[in-house]
């Protein structure tokens, strides 16, 4: 029998011996294990070289074997990006269409020139006031205002004669005279105020219906206005008319609102002028009546107004 066959050691025995040696190494003294750390450092370059080679090999395998997959992924991404861009273009076109539709239905934006009432006309027979804005701040002659008074804006604030003036969303007058820093506003209720075309809206609860009747408004003085020569058949004179239903809503009665006519006065939309407070018969013409109109605001209590620059005819949109 040979020596090699007599001392033949199995792999399991070698593994068990190495495992036991590793376990015993945990209990070796530090003076014996510390020198071994310096010896292990010489193996680091070989470990780094083998790791680098493995990384490059794996990368080469991915480039050769995974190329078609990546190409397919890039193509899918490009197609998805193209679809997204097409959707964005479609949405932009839809947005432009909606914006054009909105602009066609809404009146043009008009800058309002704010002003403060600084005084009323000293002449009792005239209804006017002074506002603190003049021609240097955008006010022009004949601009519309909200009563006849003086405001603290004049020519220096782009105020021009003829511009309309508002008070609490109510049309009250027109700029009559402009200086660089002050302007005088003539109220619609002034007896010398020129006639303006208006429309009447029948009010029922919270609903207002425009009555198909063209009329004009003039100033009566003392804070009142009048719509003259209205046919009596258009006026509701008794409570019994309420039973007529739709026809009754087309009749004029006390409490109805008065608006500027659409497209009139250079205004982009109709503005409230006042409310009908009384109906008086014309003693010389028994078939017509006069509608007495009062402003929706108390002029003496108005402190802040807005001046509306006159809108050019070519940019005016009639609702």
Count of residues making up the chain: 319
Hunting for tokens 């070796």 — which residue is that?
28
Query: What is the crossing angle of helices 44-65 and 67-105, to 10°?
Result: 60
Cα torsion angle, 122, 127, 131, 136, sign: negative
Question: 261 in helix, strand or coil?
Answer: coil
* pLDDT score, position 104: 60
Instruction: From 159, 166, 124, 112, select the one nearest 140 (Cα to Cα).
Output: 159
* Residues contacting 121, CB < 8 A, separation 6+: 127, 128, 129, 148, 149, 150, 184
- Specify the pTM: 0.54
Q: What is the mean pLDDT of each run of 10 residues along the chain (319 residues)?
A: 60 84 77 66 69 77 56 72 85 81 59 75 59 69 54 70 66 83 83 86 73 85 86 71 56 85 71 87 81 84 78 45
Paired sense of beta strands 113-120 and 150-167, if any: antiparallel
> Domain ranges in the chain?
113-192+304-315, 196-301
Paired sense of beta strands 224-231 and 304-308, if any: unpaired
Chain center to CA of 119: 35
* pLDDT score, position 116: 80
Paired sense of beta strands 207-210 and 215-221, if any: unpaired
CA distances from 136 to 154, 159, 160, 178 (A): 6, 6, 9, 10
Instruction: From 93, 157, 97, 148, select the one nearest 123 (Cα to Cα).
Output: 148
Structure tokens at 316: 């005016």
Cα torsion angle, 132, 137, 142, 147, sign: negative
Asked if residues 190 and 199 have their Cβ atoms less than 8 Å apart, the reply is: no
Q: Write phi, then psi, for 113 (nearest 5 degrees).
A: -100, 110
Structure tokens at 157: 């604030």
* pLDDT score, position 105: 53
* pLDDT score, position 146: 43
Asked if residues 190 and 148 have their Cβ atoms less than 8 Å apart, the reply is: yes
Q: Which fold has domain 196-301?
A: Thrombin, subunit H (2.40.10)
Q: Write phi, then psi, for 284 (nearest 5 degrees).
A: -90, -20
* pLDDT score, position 318: 36
* pLDDT score, position 251: 81
Structure tokens at 197: 């075309």
Instruction: From 184, 54, 195, select the one nearest 118 (Cα to Cα).
Output: 184
Structure tokens at 76: 């899918």
The span from the CA of 27 to the CA of 61, in Å, is: 45
Neighbours of 235 (CB within 10 A): 18
């Amino acid at each position: 029998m040979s020596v090699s066959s007599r001392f033949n050691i199995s792999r399991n025995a070698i593994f068990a011996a190495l495992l036991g040696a590793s376990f015993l190494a945990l209990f070796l003294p530090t003076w014996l294990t510390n020198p071994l750390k310096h010896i292990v450092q010489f193996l680091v370059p070989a470990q780094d070289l083998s790791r680098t080679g493995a990384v490059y090999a794996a990368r080469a395998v991915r480039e050769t074997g995974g190329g078609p997959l990546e190409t397919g992924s890039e193509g899918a991404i490009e197609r998805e990006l193209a679809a997204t861009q097409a959707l964005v273009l479609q949405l932009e076109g839809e947005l432009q269409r909606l914006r054009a539709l909105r602009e066609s239905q809404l009146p043009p934006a008009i800058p309002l020139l704010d002003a403060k009432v600084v005084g009323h006309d000293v002449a009792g027979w005239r209804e006017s006031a002074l506002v603190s804005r003049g021609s240097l701040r955008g006010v022009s002659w004949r601009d519309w205002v909200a009563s006849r008074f003086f405001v603290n804006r004049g020519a220096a604030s782009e105020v021009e004669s003829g511009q309309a003036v508002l008070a609490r969303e109510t049309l009250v007058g027109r700029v009559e005279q402009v200086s660089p820093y002050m302007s005088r506003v003539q109220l619609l209720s002034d007896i010398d105020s020129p006639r303006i075309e208006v429309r009447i809206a029948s009010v029922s609860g919270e609903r207002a219906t425009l009555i198909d009747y063209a009329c004009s408004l003039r100033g009566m003085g003392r804070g009142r206005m009048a719509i003259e020569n209205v046919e009596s058949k258009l006026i509701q004179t008794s409570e019994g008319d309420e039973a007529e239903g739709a026809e009754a809503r087309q009749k004029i009665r006390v409490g109805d609102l008065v608006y500027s006519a659409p497209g009139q006065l250079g205004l982009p939309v109709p503005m409230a002028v006042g409310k009908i407070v009384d109906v008086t018969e014309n003693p010389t013409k028994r078939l017509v009546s006069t509608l007495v109109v009062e402003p929706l605001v108390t002029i003496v209590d108005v402190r802040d107004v807005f001046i509306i620059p006159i809108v050019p005819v070519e940019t005016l949109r009639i609702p």
